[in-house]
Amino acid sequence: MASSSIDSRVFGVLFASDEMKKIFSDENRVQKWLDTQAALARA
């Protein structure tokens, strides 16, 4: 089940390009969280 219109297999192409889907993907979101935590640990 899609959590947003961008994730929808049917409607996703209407609302987001492939590049936008990558930016708003769960994998990218988690990676940004990890990057933030790493930067805080270094500071």
> Residue 9 corresponds to which amino acid?
R
Alpha-carbon span 34 to 30, nearest angstrom = 6
Question: Residue for token digits 């708003």?
Answer: 24
Is 28 within the bounds of a domain? yes
pLDDT of residue 10: 73
Q: Give the tens place of pLDDT for each residue, 1-43.
A: 556 666 677 776 777 788 888 887 889 999 999 999 999 999 9
Domain that holds residue 22: 12-42
In-domain check, residue 2? no
Tokens at 39, concatenated: 């930067």
Is residue 1 assigned to a domain?
Answer: no
Assigned domain for 30 exists:
yes
Contact 14, 29 (CB under 8 A): no
Q: How many structural domains comprise the chain?
A: 1
pTM given for the model: 0.62
- Domain-embedded: residue 29: yes
Give domain status of residue 3, yes or no. no
Classify residue 7: in a domain, yes or no: no
- pLDDT at res. 2: 54
Q: How far is CA 17 from the centre of its chain?
A: 13
